[in-house]
Amino acid sequence: MSTEMGWQYTTCQGTISLTDGGAAMVSSEFRFKPHEGTPLTPADRNGVTVYGAPGDSNGCSRHVVVSDHATVTVIASLAQGPDLLCAIADAAIDGMLPQLTRGELQPLVLPPDSLGRQDACRLLDHTEVRRMAGIDARQVHPSFNGQGCEWSTGAERGPSVLVSFRRAPQPKIDEGTDRAINIDGRTAIVDTWVGGALKLPSCEVQIAHRPLERPTSTSTVEQLSVSVYTEAPEESNCAPATELATAALGRLPRG
């Protein structure tokens, strides 16, 4: 099994090589709570209540509530068959339970300028968000540990602004519609998307904040991402996305 850092400081991923030559992906992450609307069944595993549901072709998940505001979630995916996926998820959660029950999870030590120590919801103020038509600045949806923040209308598919932090390769132009711009002396990549069934057309601005190294020695950075989703041609979202990214970058410690 090989492991690597997840997209955010609240996640970790691993790849399992299977005997049939295939592979399965296992991810563990902190969430406020399991996703709403998902019917979960509690089960006792070594004296700990673990919540889960039958798997499907998309994956199988298990959840352990560790406090009023924190849940550890394990998701197994990619492998063929829900039974195998759920067996992998159960094995992963069983391996975590001894450490969880002993209370041995220690805070990650990060430098002061790390995005892992920042709060995405504090990077934009209400007046800046309110300039986006249709967005209610009071509809704020934070991610766990401040690693993301979304302002929206509250509708499932409506206008929204998303600020998020990632650990990812250096942003670069990899599509014909991408372009590089300069924001406060830093190179930013502007990436458009035509939208889909669940999200409106969007424009995303990606900015490298601080370099670091992955366990696999692949060069990576802490990355600030600001996306604007509206019912308009995706390119028209780029001006407000750039404006908001400039404001958000100005409130971060210099990486």
- Domains annotated on the chain, with CATH: 2-102 (no CATH), 115-250 (3.40.1000)
Q: Alpha carbon 35 to chain centroid distance?
A: 14
For residue 114, the tally of other CB atoms under 10 A from its CB is 18
> Exposed, middle or buried: residue 139 (CB in 10 Å: 0-12, 13-18, 19+)?
middle
Q: Name the CA radius of gyration of the chain, rounded.
A: 20
Q: What is the pLDDT along the chain (255 residues), one digit of tens a residue?
A: 455 666 788 888 888 888 887 888 899 999 888 776 678 999 999 889 999 988 888 889 999 998 888 899 999 998 778 889 999 999 999 999 998 888 867 777 889 999 999 999 999 998 899 887 778 888 899 999 999 999 988 777 889 999 999 988 889 998 888 999 999 999 999 999 988 877 889 999 999 999 986 655 567 899 999 999 998 888 899 999 999 999 999 999 975
* Beta strands 186-193 and 148-152, pairing class: unpaired
For the record, the structure tokens of 37 come out as 């609307």
**What token pair was written down for 127?**
């007046």
Buried b (16+ CB within 10 A) or exposed e, 168-179: beebeeeeeeee
Whole-model pTM: value is 0.84
Distance, in Å, from the CA atom of 162 to the CA atom of 183, rounded to the nearest integer, reads 18
Beta bridge partners of 45: 48
Q: How are beta strands 160-168 and 148-152 bridged, if at all? A: antiparallel
Alpha carbon 147 to chain centroid, angstroms: 7
Count CB-CB contacts under 10 A for residue 130.
13
